[in-house]
A and B are shown apart, each in its own frame.
Chain A
Amino acid sequence: GAVVSQHPSRVICKSGTSVKIECRSLDFQATTMFWYRQFPKQSLMLMATSNEGSKATYEQGVEKDKFLINHASLTLSTLTVTSAHPEDSSFYICSASRQGNNQPQHFGDGTRLSIL
């Protein structure tokens, strides 16, 4: 199988706090990881593509200084929401792919972030 673990699953914190979310590929090496945001009853919105050892590629409209991504190893990528505000409350999901053009993305179970 291809297991992706995401932690924490739920975060509730005060406005102004920075929150770090981890995404790990447990049984394979992931040269590429992706971070998505999902609003209720909507599909996934790609925020950024994270490549091991290089800077992340952000989608248009996503603030790179707000959403810091680090992909320091082939099994771990982190998303830090800096100085979070209530409008950042959402469901954040990561995915990972094995190396190779024909490899599908496997998703973590998501992190529900609530900023008070």
Chain B
Amino acid sequence: QKEVEQDPGPLSVPEGAIVSLNCTYSNSAFQYFMWYRQYSRKGPELLMYTYSSGNKEDGRFTAQVDKSSKYISLFIRDSQPSDSATYLCAMRQMDSSYKLIFGSGTRLLVRP
């Protein structure tokens, strides 16, 4: 079993839809949780960064962390065709290695 599980998709939605992306994990020591967006042939771009459980909102994006269920989510409101990309969840422990564990990424396609 992988430490971080993420549905690879693809997930296809119409423009304007609310998108829900999710990851589950097995290591209860994870404390920092991130969502990255990666366009084709580009490096990942940090979207959201949260510590421990709770919600965080930034514009059209909302990140949720439920440590009791070992489950994190990213919601995208009013989705746009420009949101079409691969979304990677990542997480790490509170240690000195700073090593990230990534999900496999979910491909999102927002249809005009």
Is there an interface contact between A43 and B42, defined as CB atoms closer than 8 Å? no
Q: Which residue of B lies closest to A104 (CB)?
A: B49
Query: How many residues of chain B are within 8 Å of chain A by beta carbon?
Result: 23
Q: Nearest chain A CB to B33's CB is how many angstroms away?
A: 10
- Tell me the chain B residues, 25-51 only, with Cβ under 8 Å from chain A: 32, 34, 36, 41-46, 49, 51
Contacting residue for B41 out of A4, A42, A108, A112, CB 8 A: A112
Is there an interface contact between A43 and B99, defined as CB atoms closer than 8 Å? no
Is there an interface contact between B104 and A42, defined as CB atoms closer than 8 Å? yes
Is there an interface contact between B36 and A107, defined as CB atoms closer than 8 Å? yes
Contacting residue for A106 out of B46, B51, B90, CB 8 A: B46
Is there an interface contact between B98 and A102, defined as CB atoms closer than 8 Å? no
Q: Nearest chain B CB to A31's CB is how many angstroms away?
A: 10
Is there an interface contact between B99 and A102, defined as CB atoms closer than 8 Å? no
**Is B18 engaged at the interface, CB distance under 8 Å to the other chain?**
no
Complex interface: chain B residues within 8 A of A101 (CB): 94, 96, 98
Complex interface: chain A residues within 8 A of B105 (CB): 43
Is there an interface contact between A6 and B43, defined as CB atoms closer than 8 Å? yes
Is there an interface contact between A104 and B94, defined as CB atoms closer than 8 Å? no
Q: Nearest chain B CB to A68's CB is how many angstroms away?
A: 21
**Is A97 engaged at the interface, CB distance under 8 Å to the other chain?**
yes
**Is B100 engaged at the interface, CB distance under 8 Å to the other chain?**
yes
Complex interface: chain A residues within 8 A of B43 (CB): 4, 6, 93, 95, 107-110
Task: Encode B80-110 as 1/0 by CB contact (under 8 A) with A.
Answer: 0000000010100010111110111100000
A-B pairs with lowest CB-CB distance, top 6? A107-B43, A109-B43, A104-B49, A43-B102, A107-B44, A110-B43
A-B contact pairs, 14 of them (CB 8 A): A6-B43, A42-B104, A43-B103, A43-B104, A93-B44, A101-B94, A101-B98, A102-B32, A104-B32, A105-B90, A105-B100, A110-B41, A110-B43, A112-B41
